[in-house]
Amino acid sequence: MVAGTTDDLVEVVRAAHNWRSGMPLHGIGRSVPFVTLTRRGEVVELGPARVVAAEWQWLRQRPEETDRPDHRALIEAAYDEPRLRQLYPYMSHSVLNFSTTTGYPFSPSPVSLGALGSHSNFRVWRRSEVLGETATAAQAVALAVSHLPADLGPAVAGRYEA
């Protein structure tokens, strides 16, 4: 949530004390000059919907994803789907996953989407069960959505606890 570098141990203690006392992150950043908020720290206190929106924005702009046309197509197709857009998105091993929580560890992904390579084919699975392969990213998203739980709501703040 925050980052920074200093040689002044007193400033580190002050930052830790402020955090432990419940000071909002923006307040810590103002009170201890070496502290800067990360992109996540900028929005976390605004609620889970803002964290999810910020993560989608960041994911859609990441060069390592947007430079790969198959990944970009998958991310954009998933973003266009409201039921997926309400979940916290994250990439792991070139697979697009979704969490019902905004904190790590994330919840198990209700569905996962992956590009299979240069043929621009896409795979959808739930945990280790392959649900199908499609020719387009839009078809993969439609297949994924058809397998989402009916009661799936927006991501909530915090970490997943089994």
* Residue-wise pLDDT tens digits, 28-63: 888 898 988 877 777 878 889 999 999 999 999 887
Q: Is residue 43 part of a domain?
A: no
Residues 39, 27, 101, 49, CA torsion sign: negative
pTM of the model as a whole: 0.82
Q: Are residues 97 and 142 in the same domain?
A: yes
- The residue with greater pLDDT, 122 or 94, is 122
Show Cβ contacts of residue 57 under 8 Å, excluding neighbours closer than 6 positions.
none
> Residue 105: is it exposed, middle or buried by C-beta count within 10 angstroms (0-12/13-18/19+)?
exposed
Q: Are residues 29 and 59 in the same domain?
A: no
Q: What is the spatial distance between Cα 135 and Cα 123, in angstroms, rounded to a whole number?
A: 9
- How do residues 107-121 score in pLDDT, each as one tens digit? 999 999 999 876 669
* Across 26-30, 91-95, 103-107, 132-136, least confident range: 26-30
Q: Are residues 23 and 70 in the same domain?
A: no
Q: Are residues 21 and 59 in the same domain?
A: no
What pLDDT does 150 receive? Answer: 94
Per DSSP, 24 falls in state -
For residue 1, pLDDT over 80 is answered with no
| Domain total in the chain | 2
Nearest Cα residue to 148 out of 94, 82, 104, 92: 82
Q: Are residues 32 and 53 in the same domain?
A: no
Q: What is the mean pLDDT of residues 55-75?
A: 85
Q: Is residue 19 part of a domain?
A: yes
What pLDDT does 8 receive? Answer: 92
What pLDDT does 120 receive? Answer: 64
Q: Is residue 54 part of a domain?
A: yes
Q: Is residue 42 part of a domain?
A: no
Q: Are residues 25 and 100 in the same domain?
A: no
What pLDDT does 66 receive? Answer: 64
Q: Six-digit token pair at 33?
A: 């000059």
Range of the domain at 20: 2-37
Q: Is residue 33 part of a domain?
A: yes
What pLDDT does 94 receive? Answer: 85
Q: Percentage of the chain surpassing pLDDT 70?
A: 97
Q: Percentage of the chain surpassing pLDDT 90?
A: 64
Q: H/E element holding 88?
A: strand 88-92
Q: Is residue 10 part of a domain?
A: yes
Q: Is residue 70 part of a domain?
A: yes
